[in-house]
Amino acid sequence: MVEAAHRVLLVEDDRFVGPVLQRALEGTAAVMLVTSLGEARRALAHARRDLVILDEQLGDGSGIALAEQLRRESRPPRITLITAFGSPDLLTRARLANVDYLEKLSGRNAEESFVRVLQKDIERALIEAESIDEHYHRTATRLADERALTEAERDVLCQIAALIPLEEIAERREVSARTVSNQLQSIYDKLAGC
């Protein structure tokens, strides 16, 4: 199986805070910074993320609304909602959506504490993602062994089992999406008797 870098999507429209958080967190995981909900939706449609750090007040809408939408997915990422404008109502919505909630504070010590908390969130997200991926990988490997799949088919099956989009699998394997689709059809044919 191809190992993927752990991915974090940081959705923050503040021109100072976003890049500062991105630099501070990059040693922990691969961090992609976007500045709007629209960009966040496009990034999430393109590739799965282990953690989404989401500002509440964005120029094109509310971070909690996207968080609630993401939590309804079959395998949602871990989500941390960050805000400089906390309220009891927002905290309640975040808890009901099973979303971590963190208020931005000012001052050097507060910023360092904020980054440490986000780094812990990344660590927790990575542990959760690894245990789920290990389960999918073991299941896919067992099926591959039982059905005499080629090494390429095994790799595709493991990535499909980990819910990696077809286009991303093709990119990782440095082949066309059509090649991956053909390998997937061969896998389906071989597993048809399961």
Structure tokens at 27: 């040693």
Phi then psi for 34, rounded to 5 degrees?
-125, 160
pLDDT of res. 90: 82
CA distance 181 to 166: 8
Could you give the angle at which helices 63-71 and 37-46 cross, rounded to 10 degrees?
Answer: 20
pLDDT of res. 32: 93
Q: What does the DSSP 8-state code read for residue 36? A: S
Which of the residues in the chain have pLDDT under 70?
A: 1-5, 105-147, 191-194
- Contact indicator for 122, 136 with CB cutoff of 8 Å: no
Structure tokens at 152: 């390429």
Task: Specify the CATH superfamily of domain 7-129.
Answer: Response regulator (3.40.50.2300)
Q: Which residues, other chains included, contact 141 with Cβ-Cβ below 8 Å and sequence gap of 6+? A: 154, 158
CA distances from 61 to 35, 47, 100 (A): 11, 22, 19
Whole-structure pTM value: 0.59
Structure tokens at 188: 């389906």
User: Domain spans of the chain?
Assistant: 7-129, 147-191
